[in-house]
Structure 1
Amino acid sequence: MANSQGKRRRFGAVRQLKSGRWQARYRDPGTGQLRSADETYATKTDAEVALTHIEADITRGQWSDPDVGKVLFGPYAAAWLKDRTLADRTRERHESVVRLHILPTFEARPVSSITTAQIRSWRTARLSVVGEPTVVKAYQIMRAIFSTAVDDELIRRNPCRIKGADRYDVPERPILSVSEVYALADAIAPRYRLLVLLAAFTGLRFGELAALRTRDIDTANGALMVRRSQAEMQTGALFDKAPKSAAGVRPVAYPTELQADVERHLAHFAGPGRDGHVFLGPQGGQLRRSNFRDDWIKARKRAKITADVHFHDLRHTGNNLAASGASLRELMTRMGHSTSRAALIYQHMVSGRDREIADRLGSMIRKARGDADS
C-alpha cells in the first residue's frame, strides 16, 4: 500500500511506497491493465523520468512486455530446438552442444537478463577447457537462439555481438604428394587400398565413400555418382542421408590409372549385388570410422608418414592436385562445394572438363609411379 499518491499525469502515475522508494505505474498498451515498472526508484523525479521513457517506447512502437523477457533460457532453448527443421545428425549435435556447453551457464537465467558481457565471459571460460571449433559452434547456436528471441519480441537486441566469435581460422593441414598417397595405399589393408586412392584423386569425403554402392560406379566412363553420405549417430547407428545441398549430388570422374584398382576391388571386396556397399568393414559389415581408424594409423606408420595426417587430408590433397588448370566453378562442382548448381547432365560431366581434371591427375600418377619404379 502507498502512503502518498503522486498528482495525476497525462501518462501513468507515480506513488511513494512505505519503503520510501517511488513506483511508476501505467496502462499496458495491449491489455489496458494497470502495471508497475520493473523496478522502484529512489526519487519521485527518477520515477517520472522512467514513465517518460516508457511512454516514448510505446509511441515509437518499441515497447515490449517486460514479463515476456522473464522466460528462462533453458525452456526457451528447448522449444527453439524442437521447432527447428534439422537432419537427425545435426539435431543430435545441436542438442549435445546446448546441453554440454550452454545450459550449465545460462539454463536458469531469464532470456532478457543475459548480457553481452556475460556471453563474453562464458566464451572465455569455455575456450579454456574445450577446443575453439566447439566454442564457435556453441556461440553460433546461442546467436541463432537470441535472434529468434528478438523476432519473438522477448528482447530488443541480440546480446551475441562479439566480433569474430562466430568463426575460427582452420589450421593449415598437410598436403601429401602423389608418391605419399600411393605409399599409404600400398601400406594399408588391401580392402582399403581403393578407399585411399579415391579419397585422394576424387576428393570424396569419408561419408560419401562409405555410402557408395556398386551401381554408383560407372567403370565404362571412369566416374562415380555421389548420391548420399553416411552419417553416424552418437548411439553408433549408421544411416545414409542426402547431401546438405544440391551440389553434393554430383558425378566425379576418376583417373583412368585407377581403373585396375577399381575393378579388382569390386571383384574381391564390394558387397553383393548392384546395391551392395563398395566399401565394407573388416567383418563384412558397414564401414565406419571406428573400424577403419586403426588400419589408417598402422598404414601411416608403415608408409613412414611422420606428419599427423588425417584421412580427411586426402580430400584436401586431392583438392590441391585438381586445382591445377581447373576453374573455380569446375573445382567447386567436383568437390561438391557449390551452393547453387548449374544443370550439368552426367554425360557432359564425364566426357568434358571434369574428365580433363581426372586425366591431369592421371598424368601426375604416371609420373610419380614412373619415378618410383625407375
Structure 2
Amino acid sequence: MARESWGIIDKQRSGRYRARYTHQGERHTAPHTFDTKDAARTWLSRQRIAIADGTWVHPEEAKKRAETEAAEAARKQITVDEYAEQYIERRFNAGKLGGKTAYDYRLYWHGPRPKSKGQRATAGGRLHHFAGWPIGDIAYEDVCDWHDEQMESGALTQVTRCYEHLKTVMLDAEDRGLIDRNPCRIKDAKVATGKKRTPPTDAELPIVIDAMPLSLQPLVILAAAVGGRFGELTAFRKRDFTVEYDDDGAVECVRATVAKAITYVPKEGRSEKGPKTEAGNRQVPFFGHDALIFASHLSTIDDPDQLLFTDATGDAPLPHGSFTWHWIKARKAANRPDLQLHSLRHYHGSRYAQLSGASLAEVMARLGHVSVTAAMRYQHAGTRADELARRAAR
C-alpha cells in the first residue's frame, strides 16, 4: 500500500493498481483497477478536483445514473416495429383500439399470417421496410424515400393508411422521449385516397334492391335510409327500432337506435361491440316508403332480441361474404359493378344534406361522425346545379 499526497494506491497480486480515497468520513474505491500507477493517480486527481469545484457525485449515485443512462440508451435502441407492437397493445388494452383495427395495423408491418400450416408466410406489409430499424435511426429522408416508392405502386389508399399509422407511432415515440423529432413530416403527403365512391342514383338503387333476395332487401333499404355501416346493420335487433304511427294508424316513422356493431377479426371470429366513437351512439329516424317497407319487415319478427340479418343457422350475424355473393349479382343488374354497400352511406349522407337542407353538424350527428373531414367525404355534389344557380340569381 502506498500513500499518495491524497488518497491511497495499492498494487494487487495481478500487477494492476487499486485507487482509494476518503471523503466526508467515507472511504471510496475506484470502480475498476488500473494498468499503471500513473493511471490510478490520474483517477485520484480527477476525484480531488471534482470535490474542490463541487461537481463530485457519490459513487453509488453515479452508478445509479450510469445504469439509468444505459437503460435509456437501450430503450432508444428498440426497433420501430417492436415499438409499434407495444403501441398497438397499449391502445388495445386501454380500450382505445378495436380488435379489427389492431389486426389491420399489424398487417401493415408483417402482412397476413399463413392460413394453414403448410402455407408460406408473406414477405411482410408495406411498413416491413422499416422492421428491424432502431427507432432513433429513421430520418425524414428515409420516410420520404419509402413514401415515394410506395406511391408508385398506385395503391393510394393503403399507402396513405400505412403512412398515417407510422406517423402516429413515431409521434407517440416523440412524446415519450425516445426520439427527438417525428420523421414523418411530409407536407404534401396524400391524405385523400385514390378510390372514389360514387353513390347510386335514385334510378339505380331500386334495381339493386329488387335484385337482392327478399331476406336481404330490408338490409339494403336500411343502409340507404340510415347510412349505417355493415357492422352496424348486422348488429341490429328488433328492439333497436321503434315504429311510430299517424292519427289514421298508418306508419309515419321508424326510429333506429344505433348502439352496437359486429366486427370480425381473423382467427378470433365475430363479436359485438360498441361504436367506434361516442358519436356513433345515435338515433336515426326515417320516413316515407322506406319506413313503410321496413315496418312491415319488423312485424314478421316476434322476439325483440332476434337479430334482423343472420347466417343460415338464424343465430349468428350475417357474414360479409354471404351478403357479398348476392350483392355482386345485384349491382351487376344495375350496371354498377363498382358499387359497394358502403356507397349507400355516401348516398344517404349526400341525400340528407341536399334534400333536407341539414347543416354540416346535423349530417355529422346522423352519420355518427366526430370530424368534419370524415363527414365531408360522405357529401357529393349531386345533380342540382341548375336549382342552386336559380336560387343564387339576382
Normalising by the residue count of structure 2, what TM-score does the alignment of the two structures yield? Answer: 0.65
What CA deviation, in whole Å up to 9, does each residue of 1:115-167 have, x standing for no partner?
A: 11122222233334572222222222222222222233222111111124372
1:322, 1:174 → 2: CA distance? 16
Aligned to 2:167: 143
Aligned to 1:312: 342
* Pair 1:292-2:323 in alignment: yes
| Match 1:215 to one of 225, 231, 239 | 239
* Pair 1:154-2:154 in alignment: no
SS at match of 1:239: strand
| Higher-Rg member (1/2) | 2
Matches within 5 A, 1:223-372: 223-235=255-267, 237-268=269-300, 273-284=303-314, 285-303=316-334, 305-324=335-354, 325-338=357-370
Letter in 1 for 2:322: N
1:213, 1:68 → 2: CA distance? 49
Letter in 2 for 1:153: G
Letter in 1 for 2:366: R
SS at match of 1:70: coil
Give the drift of 1:336: 1.3
Give the drift of 1:197: 1.3
Aligned length: 295
Identical columns (%)? 29
Letter in 1 for 2:87: W
* Pair 1:93-2:104 in alignment: yes
User: Is the contact between residue 157 and residue 195 of structure 2 (CA under 8 Å) also seen in structure 1?
Assistant: no
1:300, 1:167 → 2: CA distance? 29
Letter in 1 for 2:273: K
1:119, 1:212 → 2: CA distance? 43
1:175, 1:204 → 2: CA distance? 14
1:307, 1:78 → 2: CA distance? 38
Give the drift of 1:170: 5.1
User: Is the contact between residue 80 and residue 131 of structure 2 (CA under 8 Å) also seen in structure 1?
Assistant: yes
SS at match of 2:257: strand
Gaps of 5+ in 1: 10-26, 36-63, 341-374
SS at match of 2:203: helix
Aligned Cα root-mean-square deviation (Å): 3.6
Give the drift of 1:174: 1.5
User: Is the contact between residue 202 and residue 252 of structure 1 (CA under 8 Å) also seen in structure 2?
Assistant: yes
SS at match of 1:222: strand
Structure 1 residues 321 and 121, CA gap change in structure 2 (3 angstroms)? same
SS at match of 1:191: coil
Letter in 1 for 2:221: L
Give the drift of 1:224: 0.9
